[in-house]
């Protein structure tokens, strides 16, 4: 796991400036529209705390995934009561770096149960792990981290299975949380974006830029 870019940061290094720039670029507006649609992920629509609705399905498309039609019908109609029952057991104001977060991310906890419901492991019409992670992150953006191929690359050898607990451990370091808050402030990130989402965005931007560099290097050798 390569987190030297975060642990070695201070406010006078070029690397610090790069991370501030990443955040500013991600949350920037271009002609009144966001440069990255994912910057509206948490705030689009109503984001009702106790249900999954159509606004949530649109919001996850801003992170480049799509909920298939039959899965959408499950979430919006047939299984709304089950989803609500689980969401009401997951705090809305608990942040992943807080000690109590671990209790809510156990394999036998409500977040894991909702994950299984979205995935529909024992039935049909579920969604894949990336989409499930983004739906959960939409409903509890302070607590549940996003998982995708870029995050996987940046956090390797962390696996999907231990992603939540690993992210909790990473953010349990008070110095890291302080750095993330300072970056958030200096980059003028919207106030509703929490520590976890700030970290998610930084991971994603760093991984995206690294991927673009690798692809450019490959094309230069052809």
Tens-binned pLDDT, residue by residue, of the chain (222 aa): 556 666 666 555 668 999 999 999 999 999 999 999 999 999 999 999 999 999 999 999 999 999 999 999 999 999 999 999 999 999 999 999 999 999 999 999 999 999 999 998 656 788 999 999 999 999 999 999 999 999 888 888 777 878 999 999 999 999 999 999 999 999 999 999 999 999 999 999 988 887 665 554 444 455
pLDDT at 152: 87
- The 10 Å CB-count burial string (b at 16+, else e) for 107-126 is eebbbbbbbebbbbeeeeeb
pLDDT at 161: 78
Q: How many domains, in total, are found in the chain? A: 1
pLDDT at 62: 97
pLDDT at 220: 47
Could you list the residue range(s) of the whole structural domain that residue 34 is in? 4-220
pLDDT at 209: 82
Q: Give the predicted TM-score (pTM) of the model.
A: 0.89
């Amino acid at each position: 796991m390569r987190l030297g870019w975060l642990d070695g940061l201070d406010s006078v290094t070029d690397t610090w400036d790069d991370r501030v720039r990443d955040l500013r670029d991600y949350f920037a507006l271009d002609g009144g529209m966001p440069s990255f649609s994912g910057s509206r992920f948490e705030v689009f629509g109503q984001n009702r705390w106790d249900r999954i609705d159509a606004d949530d399905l649109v919001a996850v498309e801003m992170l480049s995934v799509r909920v298939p039609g039959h899965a959408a019908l499950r979430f919006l109609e047939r299984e709304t009561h089950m989803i609500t029952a689980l969401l009401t057991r997951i705090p809305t104001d608990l942040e992943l770096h807080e000690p109590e977060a671990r209790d809510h991310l156990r394999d036998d906890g409500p977040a894991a149960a909702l994950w299984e419901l979205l995935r529909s492991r024992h039935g049909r019409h579920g969604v894949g792990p990336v989409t499930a992670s983004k739906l959960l992150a939409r409903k509890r953006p302070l607590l549940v981290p996003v998982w995708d191929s870029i995050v996987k690359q940046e956090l390797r050898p962390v696996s999907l299975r231990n992603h939540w607990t690993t992210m909790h451990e990473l953010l349990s370091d008070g110095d890291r949380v302080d750095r993330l808050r300072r970056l958030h402030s200096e980059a003028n990130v919207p106030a509703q974006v929490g520590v976890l989402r700030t970290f998610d965005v930084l991971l994603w931007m760093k991984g995206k830029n690294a991927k673009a560099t690798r692809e450019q290097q490959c094309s230069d050798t052809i």
